[in-house]
Amino acid sequence: MSSKQHETIYLEDYQPPAWLISHTELRFELEEEHTLVRAQLSVRANPAVADKRMPLELFGDEAMELCRLSIDGQILETCDYQRDAGCLRIQNVPEHFTLECVTRLLPHENTALEGLYKSDGMFCTQCEAEGFRRITFFPDRPDVMSVFRTTLVADKARYPVLLSNGNPVDNGEDGEGRHWVTWDDPWPKPSYLFALVAGDLALLEDNYTTLSGREVALRIYAERKDLDKLDYAMQSLKNAMRWDEGVYGREYDLDIYMIVAVDFFNMGAMENKGLNIFNTSCVLAHPKTTTDLGFQRVEGVVAHEYFHNWSGNRVTCRDWFQLSLKEGFTVFRDAEFSADMNSRTVKRIEDATLLRTAQFAEDGGPMAHPVRPESYMEISNFYTLTVYEKGAEVVRMLHTLLGSELFRKGSDLYFERHDGQAVTTDDFVAAMEAVSGRDLSQFKRWYSQAGTPLLTVSDQYDEHTGEYCLNVRQSCPPSPGQEHKQPYHMPLAMGLLAEDGAELYAGCLELTGEEQQFRFTDIASRPVPSLLRGFSAPVKLDYQYSDAQLLMLLRHDTDGFNRWDAGQRFCIRLLQEQMRRYRAGEPMQCPDVLISAWRELLTDASLEPAMVAQCLELPSEAQLSELAEQIDVTAIHAAREFMRAALATALEQEWLQAYQRCDTGAAYAADAASMGRRSLKNLALSYLMLTGCEPWLELARQQYEQSDNMTDQLAALSLVAHSGFRETGAELLQAFYQQWQHEALVMNQWLSVQASDPTPGALARVQALSTHPVFDARNPNKLRALIAGFCARNLFHFHAEDGSGYEWLADWILQLDRRNPQIAARLLTPLTRWKRYDTERAALMQAQLQRMMDTAELSADVYEVVSKSLM
């Protein structure tokens, strides 16, 4: 049974480390067939731990070869230590000593992309969360912080660039073609922030002067062919550095800041001290090859990793249960940065949509966990939307409750108190309590309780007294291991509008009780409440709005987010009604009120195009699924497609005018206004294409051929490729391939466009693509484009009635699990939601999960997700 080897780790079992490592000296001999690592650790007993007779326990991957082990120069024989299941134990060691350890690694065979591995011929590392134990034996836990000095030795011709954390302090050559560089990082850090890179890399260099006058060299490394795609990341980095000085008073603390782009990477990017390693998809940007979404991602991720230098590196996590301490806070920081650089409202809409579609689904599924989880089998499975995105919402609520001034005082105190320490989410909240004098103990339930709270709101208005009363009830459904939830403390931002749209009240209520009443006096006429403005808490809201009230809010709300939200609520209601009709065999309808409301938005040239595009985008199939009692993929798809087609025909002239208005002919620029125009233009084109009329196909083809940027080219490609014009679609896909086959990131888009093609035969198409030369099952970006792309953005076909989509995915997971468990476990997500579907589909999905469960030797990653899903 595979279950035995996968133990569960509990937060309540936390013990401080018995041994500390003040200094770590590493020497890497990088060679083609293997790498030798010599580690010298200055070990001393932790004075804070009473029992000094504890054995020294080091983590080390089972597959790692131990070549030599010594204490203060004395070689240890195999009988002097015990080695089992990822752990090395040495009894009776002195109070302080030097441990030397030599390990032999096989980076070129490392397909898990954790520890030391090769990406396109260059050496690189990924140590978070527990990758360092694949490099050497070490107390690989974030509360053991050490000063690292690292020497890299490699062939000079193949690996002219040798990088590690900190500053280069020495280098030389051996006269036989090999050279070496020594790096010294003065800041103590946990092992998960260690990094090295060795390769033949080009670089873009710039510099930055911090507020206090420190000169910092900024270096972004990539393959030579990508050198022209680094300017945007560099500008974003400088913007982020300036922003963190201004908004948080935080400066950079080394002489060099390096970013390296690698093509084989499990996640987006990694904040290693002074040496960030990035997935190429999160750093390379060029108008010709990168979409607007890609540009925004680069800006956001560059800032995110930079902000970690304080929220994560200078102040780090005590244990991995505290992951949201750094991730939630840092996502909040990068979201605010992006809001300041672009449109605040649009950024908020994007983030709320991500929460509502994906994080709420996670909260309602078998892997649901609190922002600070209580247990895990494999920590990699907890780099989730809950820890990142919901964690950021929790920090945002603190910001809302305290106000920005007190919040800044709180973050200052947090950084000052805990600089150089490994701490907990309680320490973060304690700093906020200290500066505000508030009791946040109830607020902390956001960290310990899983599930999405529901607010049920009702109201009464008394014409005679002018009193308006809001009743707010909160509840939270059970989640695994948590049957009953206590009420949360949360901000409820809101306003009251008169029927004509005039604002009568704007403010923020605080909820703490299960049921609360709020009274407003001197209200001249029955108001319409605008609730949960700006998505002030990550909750679901139930208030029985009339259609007229929603349309009034869509026109007049002073809160841009809630204007959009009112429109979305109205569309969701209409779509749900069409789903009902579809199932009942009744004809579906698109009501005139919707058409006229949309006409108004579409023709009002005074509105921001980005906002109009957000408002005119129907809620996705994924979001409609999340909202459904039981998910009916066919009805969701049919209702949404019906509505889109009806809106396309009814507003054809208006779509064309909007297209023409936004098609300014200006050269590409990556600013918010230009991106907004492109998003409305391409939305308009998508509706025009839905009419199925030849002239619009011509328009799309023209856009494809004449655009100077990937946003417009790819939008046109995907519209034609997904349309009924199959021949033209195939022709453009072929042309696109010819044009871009040597650009890996563009080829990911090419795969992804085809994976999400909703026309019949979808599974056969993705199956064929999985043997295409541009596809590479070892590369996570390719897997995400094709496999995750099909499962997440082609729901109708993934959930085919015969279960073929499920079986195909399970086949992939079993195959990938042997190669890259982290990716295999991530791709599993869609199958974990099986209980939300009709009995037939649920049974088919469950059968695939069971088939995986019955497989011998699942990784801990996949085992944890599969076993929890079947519970």
Nearest distance from residue 395's CB to Zn ion, in Å?
13
Q: Closest CB to ligand TRP belongs to which residue?
A: 267
* 864 touching ligand TRP, by CB under 6 A: no
* 320 touching ligand TRP, by CB under 6 A: no
Residue whose entry in the numeric block shows the structure tokens 């290693």 = 272
Nearest distance from residue 190's CB to ligand TRP, in Å?
12
* 128 touching ligand TRP, by CB under 6 A: yes
- Give the binding range for ligand TRP (CB under 6 A) out of 263-271, 287-295, 545-553, 672-680: 263-271
Residue whose entry in the numeric block shows the structure tokens 């990556």 = 670
Please give the C-alpha separations between residue 54 and each of 94, 291, 613, in angstroms, as whole numbers: 10, 55, 62
Nearest distance from residue 82's CB to Zn ion, in Å?
36
Show the tokens assigned to 551: 């349309």
* 271 touching ligand TRP, by CB under 6 A: yes
Nearest distance from residue 146's CB to ligand TRP, in Å?
19
* 718 touching ligand TRP, by CB under 6 A: no
* 315 touching ligand TRP, by CB under 6 A: no
CA distance 632 to 55: 57
Angle at 657 between CA 655 and CA 660, to 5 degrees: 110
Angle at 343 between CA 337 and CA 532, to 5 degrees: 90
Indicate which of Zn ion, ligand TRP, none lies near residue 383 (CB less than 5 to 8 Å, by partner kind).
ligand TRP
CA distance 575 to 595: 14
Select from 126, 322, 386, 718 the one that contacts ligand TRP (CB under 6 A). Answer: 126
For ligand TRP, give the closer residue by CB, 392 or 490.
392
Nearest distance from residue 635's CB to ligand TRP, in Å?
37
Nearest distance from residue 271's CB to ligand TRP, in Å?
6
For ligand TRP, give the closer residue by CB, 423 or 594.
423
Indicate which of Zn ion, ligand TRP, none lies near residue 128 (CB less than 5 to 8 Å, by partner kind).
ligand TRP
What radius of gyration, in Å, describes the C-alpha atoms of the chain? 28
CA distance 237 to 151: 27
Indicate which of Zn ion, ligand TRP, none lies near residue 675 (CB less than 5 to 8 Å, by partner kind).
none
Dihedrals φ, ψ of 254, to 5°?
-130, 170
Provide the mask over 322-361, with x wherever binding to Zn ion is found by CB under 5 A and - wherever it is not.
-----x--x-------------------------------
CA distance 256 to 724: 53
By DSSP bridging, strand 316-317 and strand 81-84 are unpaired
Task: Note if 305 is an active site residue.
Answer: yes
Indicate which of ligand TRP, Zn ion, none lies near residue 712 (CB less than 5 to 8 Å, by partner kind).
none
- Give the binding range for ligand TRP (CB under 6 A) out of 83-91, 247-255, 269-277, 813-821: 269-277
Give the residue ranges of DSSP H helices in 587-620. Answer: 592-603, 609-615
By DSSP bridging, strand 515-520 and strand 467-475 are antiparallel
For Zn ion, give the closer residue by CB, 334 or 617.
334
| C-beta separation of 32 from 17 below 8 A | no
CA distance 246 to 366: 42
Nearest distance from residue 327's CB to ligand TRP, in Å?
6
Residue whose entry in the numeric block shows the structure tokens 């009274």 = 519
* 380 touching ligand TRP, by CB under 6 A: yes
Q: E strand or H helix at 433, and its extent?
A: helix 425-436
Task: Count residues binding Zn ion (CB under 5 A).
Answer: 2
* 779 touching ligand TRP, by CB under 6 A: no
Select from 28, 383, 687, 790 the one that contacts ligand TRP (CB under 6 A). Answer: 383
Secondary structure class of 221 (helix, strand, coil): strand
- Give the binding range for ligand TRP (CB under 6 A) out of 266-274, 488-496, 539-547, 794-802: 266-274
CA–chain centroid gap for 836, Å, is 24
Nearest distance from residue 585's CB to ligand TRP, in Å?
49
Catalytically annotated residue among 305, 327, 362, 743 = 305
Please give the C-alpha separations between residue 575 and each of 4, 166, 249, in angstroms, as whole numbers: 47, 55, 47
CA distance 281 to 295: 10
* 270 touching ligand TRP, by CB under 6 A: yes
Cis peptide before 129 (omega within 30 of 0): yes
The sign of the torsion formed by the CA atoms of 347, 349, 354, 356 equals positive
- Give the binding range for ligand TRP (CB under 6 A) out of 262-270, 334-342, 574-582, 806-814: 262-270
Provide the mask over 340-379, with x wherever binding to ligand TRP is found by CB under 6 A and - wherever it is not.
----------------------------------------
Q: Which residues contact 4 (CB under 8 A, 6 or more apart)?
A: none
User: Which residue, among 752, 832, 777, 789, has the nearest Cα to 113 in the 3D structure?
Assistant: 777
| C-beta separation of 138 from 132 below 8 A | yes
Nearest distance from residue 833's CB to ligand TRP, in Å?
22
Contact positions vs Zn ion (CB under 5 A): 327, 330
Contact positions vs ligand TRP (CB under 6 A): 126, 128-129, 266-267, 269-271, 304, 327, 380, 383
Residues annotated as catalytic are 305
